[in-house]
């Protein structure tokens, strides 16, 4: 057992090597050297370079090579290199159906506000917020960090992260520290996940010789397979039809591609990503025409 000083007068006994869960109670006395459990949520299709794709994190995580803007392309957001992590699986699941569960040192985590600014960038307007966190977490080595990770009702909704408790992890994680990979609501060991992924991306003769459940096809190969599956006569008309579906019913697009193409969930996510990159102008035109049509009906 090791002793950790707490608030100058009290002492907390923590067993050496224990991994702490980021519960609201623990966050009150979190210490820099503690090992804590964190979760990172993403999608299998997010990775652009196959050598750096998220599924390959099972071989170790180097957050210094992972630009956070790679996962979130909202202009002006996520300007730091590192990896966003959540305190619970449920919180991480909001960011994708692929969730990595791993251990890090608390000292390698950085508090972020709702716009993903880390604490050293906060402006003078945050002083009152910082004071509030110091009052709530006086025993924490970093009250603002505790504040941005807390999922309790007193924190959620009006402090740093609002309804998305997170922190920015900057550092490296060996493969041995990755204890589980959660994919589509199933929990795997890293080795089990690798075997499962081999099944998902395995080449199988299908439409025009390509397996539409694979995440490794080009956009043209996906479109050729979808065209055959739908029995679409003209490619341009089909592409425009897909664009309208993505604009009008974006929340249903993945499910529809899985059901009617048929693609796997991961392949559908990858296809949508490639489609948005290739047909950005078309999507912008469809969005403009859709908005104009809605205004006429008002």
Q: What is the pLDDT along the chain (298 residues), one digit of tens a residue?
A: 343 433 333 334 444 468 999 998 999 999 999 999 999 988 775 544 444 567 778 888 887 765 444 444 344 444 556 788 999 999 998 887 889 999 999 999 988 764 555 544 444 456 777 788 888 899 999 998 998 898 775 544 445 555 678 888 988 888 899 999 998 788 999 888 887 776 655 444 444 456 788 888 889 989 988 888 787 888 999 999 999 989 988 878 888 888 777 788 888 888 998 999 999 999 999 998 888 877 765 5
Sequence-ordered strand ranges (E) for 83-177: 83-85, 98-105, 109-111, 167-169, 172-173
Contacts 24+ apart (CB under 8 A), 177-180: 177/102, 177/103, 177/104, 178/57, 178/58, 178/60, 178/61, 178/100, 178/101, 178/102, 179/37, 179/101, 179/102, 179/103, 180/100, 180/101
pLDDT value of position 166: 87
What integer pLDDT is reported at residue 213 of this predicted model?
Answer: 80
Provide long-range contacts, Cβ within 8 A and 24+ apart, for 230-235: 230/260, 230/261
pLDDT at residue 86, rounded to an integer: 93
Same domain, 43 and 82: yes
Q: Are residues 171 and 269 in the same domain?
A: no
Q: Do residues 94 and 165 touch, judged by C-beta distance below 8 A?
A: no
The pLDDT of residue 255: 81
Same domain, 119 and 162: yes
* Residue that finishes a domain, picked among 195, 222, 238: 195
Establish whether the linkage from the previous residue to 211 is cis, with ω within 30° of 0.
Answer: no
- Residue at a domain's end among 195, 222, 245: 195
Same domain, 76 and 128: yes
What is the reported pLDDT for 276?
Answer: 92
**Helix (H) and strand (E) counts in the chain:** 10, 12
Q: Are residues 161 and 287 in the same domain?
A: no
Are 29 and 141 part of one and the same domain? yes
Tell me: do 93 and 168 sit in the same domain.
yes
- The total domain count for the chain is 2
The domain in which residue 230 lies consists of 202-297
């Amino acid at each position: 057992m090791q002793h950790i000083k707490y608030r100058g007068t009290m002492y907390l006994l923590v067993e050496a090597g224990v991994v702490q869960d980021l519960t609201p109670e623990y966050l009150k006395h979190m210490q820099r050297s503690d090992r804590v459990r964190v979760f990172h949520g993403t999608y299998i299709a997010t990775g652009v370079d196959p050598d750096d794709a998220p599924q390959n994190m099972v071989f170790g995580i180097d957050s210094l090579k992972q630009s956070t803007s790679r996962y979130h392309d909202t202009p002006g957001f996520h300007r730091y290199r590192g990896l966003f992590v959540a305190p619970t699986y449920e919180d991480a699941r909001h960011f994708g159906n692929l969730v990595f569960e791993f251990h890090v040192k608390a000292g390698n985590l950085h508090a972020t506000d709702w716009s993903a600014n880390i604490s050293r960038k906060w402006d003078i307007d945050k002083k009152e917020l910082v004071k509030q966190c110091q009052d709530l977490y006086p025993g924490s080595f970093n009250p603002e960090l505790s504040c941005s990770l807390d999922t309790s009702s007193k924190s959620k909704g009006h402090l740093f992260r609002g309804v998305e408790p997170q922190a920015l992890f900057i550092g490296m994680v060996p493969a041995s520290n990755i204890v589980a990979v959660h994919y589509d609501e199933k929990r795997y060991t890293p080795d089990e996940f690798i075997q499962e992924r081999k099944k998902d991306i395995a080449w199988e003769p299908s439409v025009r010789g390509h397996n539409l459940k694979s995440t490794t096809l080009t956009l043209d190969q996906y479109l050729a397979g979808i065209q055959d599956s739908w029995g679409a006569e003209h490619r341009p008309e089909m592409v425009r039809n897909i664009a309208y579906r993505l604009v009008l019913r974006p929340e249903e697009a993945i499910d529809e591609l899985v059901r009617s193409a048929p693609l796997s969930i991961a392949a559908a996510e990858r296809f949508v990503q490639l489609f948005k990159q290739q047909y950005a102008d078309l999507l912008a035109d469809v969005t403009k025409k859709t908005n104009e049509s809605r205004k006429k009906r008002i």
